[in-house]
Structure 1
């Protein structure tokens, strides 16, 4: 997967940021770079390792850019 993170992040709506993660909502149906389907949210991991508490079951696609994990969520 080749991520153009600057272009990708400029298309998304920021939601939350803390020490471990930054999250963005995909409000314009940008296609997931891994599977090609629109994704719901993007979580950028800022710490290694990072733990995520998922409140619902999701399909995930993952990419790495500059040592950071990019997790694309897809609702069920």
Structure 2
């Protein structure tokens, strides 16, 4: 993962709070981990964050400048 700013410039911001930033992938950008389009990107702002899953997801994970990045893939 080379540049988070470049990646998120192609995504739609959906939510931001003290723990996360959530972006929706509305243009089918490829996941940098598995190279398949992902649904959402969750940028964790803290070292420890608890997330609730409301539907089954596959998740790819990488770290950018110390922040965990979660790329979600919804089940079809």
Q: TM-score range by the shorter chain?
A: over 0.9
What's the counterpart of residue 10 of structure 1? Answer: 9
What's the counterpart of residue 40 of structure 1? Answer: 39
- Provide the C-alpha distance between the structure 1 equivalents of 2:68 and 2:74, rounded to a whole number of angstroms: 19
Structure 1 portions without partners, runs of 5+: none
Structure 2 portions without partners, runs of 5+: none
- Provide the C-alpha distance between the structure 2 equivalents of 1:3 and 1:14, rounded to a whole number of angstroms: 20
SS at the partner of 2:46? coil
Runs of 4+ in 1 over 4 A off after TM superposition: none
Relative to the length of structure 1, the TM-score reads 0.95
Relative to the length of structure 2, the TM-score reads 0.95
Alignment deviations for residues 31-70 of structure 1 (CA, whole Å, 9 cap, x no partner): 0000000000000000120000010110000110110001
* Equivalence map 1:1-76=2 (5 Å): 2-76=1-75
Equivalences, count: 75
RMSD, aligned α-carbons? 0.7
- Provide the C-alpha distance between the structure 2 equivalents of 1:10 and 1:46, rounded to a whole number of angstroms: 18
